[in-house]
Amino acid sequence: MKPASFDYYSPESLTEALQLLEQHRDAARPLAGGQSLVPMMNFRLARPALLIDLNNLRELSFLDVVDGELRIGAMTRQRALERSAVVAAGWPLLQEAARHIGHIHIRNRGTIGGSIAHAYPSAELPLAMIALDASFLLRSTQGERIVPARDFFVDVMTTILEPSELLVEIRVPQAESRTGWGFQEVSRRHGDFALAAVASIISLRKDRSIDKVRLVFTGAKPHLSKKTDSLIGQKPDGTMFSDIAATSAAELETESDIHASSEYRREVSQVLARRVLEEATARTAI
């Protein structure tokens, strides 16, 4: 298949890219790594009238730590996240999530901002960003705004981004002491899209009772469970985690397709949820 005809722009600066988006709005699509958009165009599932190629915007490719907060440029490649010693030391959940994205060739080209903005239901990075309480810097010619990751995703491949906005930076706060993490997914083959994936963060108090917990599932949009609120103040316990995993998975709006049934996805999500809660708890002692 070949894509429908389109116009192509390759801006040299973020200002120029934003001006093009403002000028063309709904007719335009930003092109980052292209690992999702280009196949969709080839199958004519997406037919933008013009592409705005962001690959010359080196100002959007960086990994920095500012006042203990990880700052990630939207055009930073997924492979950079996976290989970063800084990320491994301070934000290991992000590194683990990145390792599950497709194959190495995909991660070499795919961008962190592109994966987040694409908002594919089985994407790994949105889960990790919500679990880590990240925020996203969105910019247009009219100004900028910072949006919590948990409020960014709306539905399948739908976010709160306006047609004239770009996601330009991801900000991830430093984890508190005695914080552990867990990430697991199930796919048919290595590199395939996840049939189900779950991420978790747990912080403990000095007396080893739970101070903070987040449990996030894949779905039409990432699902942040509210059932975990009942864990606050309690000591970690396997039976309690099994119960929370079951009640949280029961809330999921899973779908059936040629790869797996809705029931299978919900059952797998429940098992993975219990595992990542236990995994996160075990890492609080490290």
* 3-state SS record for 100-147: CCCCHHHHHHCEHHHHHHHCCCCCHHHHHHHHCCCEEEEEECCEEEEE
Return d(Cα 215, Cα 279) in angstroms, integer: 12
Nearest to 176 by CA among 212, 141, 142, 145: 212
Third-level CATH fold of 58-172: 3.30.465
Nearest to 279 by CA among 195, 178, 200, 196: 200
Contacts of 143 (CB under 8 A, 6+ apart): none
Return d(Cα 17, Cα 101) in angstroms, integer: 27
- In this prediction the pTM is 0.96
Report the pLDDT value the prediction gives residue 71, as an integer from 0 to 100.
Answer: 98
Return d(Cα 235, Cα 199) in angstroms, integer: 20
Return d(Cα 267, Cα 249) in angstroms, integer: 7
Which structure tokens are listed for 159? Answer: 């976010």
Which structure tokens are listed for 107? Answer: 């991660």
Third-level CATH fold of 179-283: Enolase-like; domain 1 (3.30.390)
Extents of the domains making up the chain: 7-53, 58-172, 179-283
At 215, is the secondary structure helix, strand, or coil? strand
For the chain, the distance separating the N- and C-terminal CA atoms, rounded to the nearest angstrom, is: 51
DSSP class of 172: E
Which structure tokens are listed for 92? Answer: 């290991």
pLDDT (tens place) for every residue of the chain, 286 residues total: 788 899 999 999 999 999 999 999 999 999 999 999 999 999 999 999 999 999 999 999 999 999 999 999 999 999 999 999 999 999 999 999 999 999 999 999 999 999 999 999 999 999 999 999 999 999 999 999 999 999 999 999 999 999 999 999 999 999 989 999 999 999 998 889 999 999 999 999 999 999 999 999 998 899 999 999 999 999 999 999 999 999 999 999 898 999 999 999 999 999 999 999 999 999 997 5
Third-level CATH fold of 7-53: 3.30.43
- Report the largest interatomic distance among the alpha carbons of the chain, rounded to a whole angstrom: 63
Q: State the DSSP H helix or E strand holding residue 204, giving kind and residue range, or none if neither.
A: strand 196-204
> 67 near 84, Cβ under 8 Å?
no
Read off the amino acid at residue 240. M
- The per-residue b/e assignment along 105-118, b for 16 or more CB within 10 angstroms, e otherwise, is ebbebbbbbbbbbb
